[in-house]
Chains A and B, each alone.
Chain A
Amino acid sequence: MDIKPVLNELKTEILALIKERFKKENALITSEITLFITSSKEKIERWSILLLQGEITKAEFEILLQSQKDLLRMHSLHKAGISAIQLGHFKNAVLKLIFNKITLFIGV
């Protein structure tokens, strides 16, 4: 029983899955980063005005700036975590592919 053609087919199909997944992922990351930078700029401008108008104290302004740093870090962690979860889903897709291919090959 020659398993080589099956493994070659598997390789082609897994590569197609990888290509599809990472193309979508890259586009999503780029648009999210752009959105975050734009929103950071708007917030810092708003907080600066509040400080100048005496609506918030200098210490409060510093907390808000720190909160934007924290939020950036939280977004990065969330992004990394979600990517890992999606990678898990991707692994499941690969598992299903392998399972279907091998069971077909061995005739179970």
Chain B
Amino acid sequence: MKVHYYILIGIIFLLNSCASYQDHFTLTETITTKVMTENLLQKANTPFSENEATVNELQQQLQKMQIYENTKKKNTIMKSMWQLLNKEESSLQQFIKTWKMQETMSPAFISEYALQINTMLDLMIDYESKKEKKTESALLQFLNP
């Protein structure tokens, strides 16, 4: 009889070991990043030199999240998502670079790009929010049905 219990517990631990749980810090900071990006884009029709401090804040936020996500295990998807925003050839980095070069961005570009970057950040928020909360893990559900 004991063997059956061990088999059962073994299966539960094996299936539960691959779980990736929701990180509240990641979720709130991704929402903050979206707000920061939206606010920055609204100012992109004004001279870059007037917005350098806000641009630096966003860059620091992007780098902070990249470093934070790199520290977590079983986190390939979120890590890749932040890498995508941080890499030099990404549209977000190219937008900042071009804004600096052109000094202002055109209104048509701002409205088109806002749709694109907002969708990207929404996908990140949606992914993190759909992760299972640690307190609701399968193992605990079994222990506290």
Tell me if B102 and A73 are in contact (CB < 8 A). no
Q: Which residues of B contact A69 (CB under 8 A)?
A: 91
Q: Is B4 on the interface with A (CB-CB < 8 A)?
A: yes
Q: Smallest Cβ distance from A77 to chain B, in angstroms? A: 5
Q: Smallest Cβ distance from B36 to chain A, in angstroms? A: 17
Instruction: Kindly supply a per-residue 1/0 record for chain A positions 56-89, scoring 1 wherever the CB is within 8 Å of any chain B CB and 0 otherwise.
Output: 1101101110111111011101101110110011
Given contacts A68-B116, A70-B84, A70-B120, contact A63 B11 (CB under 8 A): no
Our count of residue pairs bridging A and B at CB distance below 8 angstroms stands at: 122
Q: When chains A and B are docked, how far (Å) is the Cα of A81 from the Cα of B80?
A: 11
Of B108, B117, B120, B127, which contacts A81 at CB under 8 A?
A: B127
Q: Which residues of B contact A50 (CB under 8 A)?
A: 108-109, 112
Query: Size range of the interface on A?
Result: 35 or more
Tell me if B130 and A85 are in contact (CB < 8 A). yes
Q: Which residue of B lies closest to A102 (CB)?
A: B8
Tell me if A71 and B94 are in contact (CB < 8 A). no
Q: Is A21 on the interface with B (CB-CB < 8 A)?
A: no
Q: Is B67 on the interface with A (CB-CB < 8 A)?
A: no
A-B contacts, 30 of them at CB < 8 A, read A3-B4, A46-B112, A50-B112, A55-B106, A56-B108, A60-B106, A60-B113, A63-B95, A64-B91, A64-B112, A64-B113, A64-B116, A66-B89, A68-B116, A70-B84, A70-B91, A70-B120, A71-B116, A74-B120, A77-B80, A77-B84, A77-B127, A80-B77, A89-B132, A91-B15, A92-B15, A92-B138, A95-B15, A98-B11, A99-B142
